[in-house]
Amino acid sequence: MAKVAVVGLGGMGSRIARRLIDAGHELTVWNRTAAKAEPLGVPIAESPAEAASRAEVVITMVADPPALQAVTEGPEGVAAGADENTTVIEMSTVGPAAIERLGSAVRADVLDAPVLGSLSEAESGTLSIFVGGDEHVFERRRELLEALGKPIYVGPSGSGAAAKLVANSTLITIIGALGEALALADALGLPREKAFEVLGTTALAAQAERRRPALESHDYPPRFPLRLARKDADLIAELGLDLRLTEAGRSWLAEDGNGEQDYSAVLERITRR
């Protein structure tokens, strides 16, 4: 079992920490809002640097690139406490540029290992984990990652972060496509019941079935907050590529709305037009 530090205990990080504790690892944790660390019942470090200095593996799971910089750089950051024997496993969705920056900030080995799957998958250890970095380092840390889900090695440093943007581009376009297909059905006078029957024969069948209960109850329990989905759409947009469908999906996500609600609540806005 390993000495592990988990830095960032939001919806995902807190569940990842809990699984590692349950798997028998020796944990130290740190979170900007310290109160969120207390329920885990493990030592709480004073800073990310202190957490890193106590661990052989440091997992970072924070909101976005500025948050990653805040917890890894400067005198209090992970880089100040990690050394060449440490492995930093960066699991947030931050894109390849942030991973490059992290790699030059720390002396440690770095794996980028963002995840697909949400709160329930983090809780049950069934995340898909896209891993970039040195393959030997990955093999050394494979077992630890397997406590969290299914690791898929995708290539050198930054490849995991790239893979995650690819995966999330599909979320962004599919939610828009589903909303617009339903809006079209409404406008043409097809009852919802029939619209779902029709969508069940198309490439969107699984997604339509999955979103149907929320669409019918108008209740979208938060799993993947809209503010994080917007952040991912922005990370893709910053690449400056000609991705017109992703851009269209991004325009739906960017409309006003409570960023704390689940991103799928965008369906409500598209179909109410």
Ligand X SMILES: NC(=O)c1ccc[n+]([C@@H]2O[C@H](COP(=O)([O-])OP(=O)(O)OC[C@H]3O[C@@H](n4cnc5c(N)ncnc54)[C@H](OP(=O)(O)O)[C@@H]3O)[C@@H](O)[C@H]2O)c1
d(CA 134, CA 12): 25
CB of 46 to ligand X, least distance (A): 14
CB of 73 to ligand X, least distance (A): 11
Is 145 a binding residue for ligand X by CB under 6 A? The answer is: no
- Give the CA distances from residue 31 to residues 45, 54, 57, 59, in Å, rounded to whole numbers and listed in that order: 9, 15, 16, 12
Is 108 a binding residue for ligand X by CB under 6 A? The answer is: no
CB contact at 8 A, 8 and 1: no
Residue 54 neighbours by CB distance under 10 Å: 16
**Hey, CA dihedral for 136, 140, 145, 151, is it positive or negative?**
positive
Q: Which is nearer to ligand X, 180 or 222 (CB)?
A: 222
Q: Which stretch binds ligand X (CB under 6 A): 20-28, 30-38, 80-88, 248-256?
A: 30-38
Q: Which stretch binds ligand X (CB under 6 A): 115-123, 152-160, 183-191, 233-241?
A: 115-123
Residue 8 identity: G
What binding mask, one character per residue, do residues 217-246 give for ligand X by CB under 6 A, x or -?
------xx---x------------------
Is 9 a binding residue for ligand X by CB under 6 A? The answer is: yes
CB contact at 8 A, 54 and 5: yes
Count of chain residues binding ligand X (CB under 6 A): 25
Give helix 96-105 / helix 159-187 axis angle, nearest 10°. Answer: 160
Position of tokens 């799971």? 61
**Tokens (6 digits) for 120:** 């329930």
Is 99 a binding residue for ligand X by CB under 6 A? The answer is: no
CB of 57 to ligand X, least distance (A): 18
Is 37 a binding residue for ligand X by CB under 6 A? The answer is: no
Is 67 a binding residue for ligand X by CB under 6 A? The answer is: yes
Site residues (CB under 6 A) for ligand X?
8-13, 31-33, 36, 61-63, 66-67, 70-71, 92-93, 115, 118-119, 223-224, 228
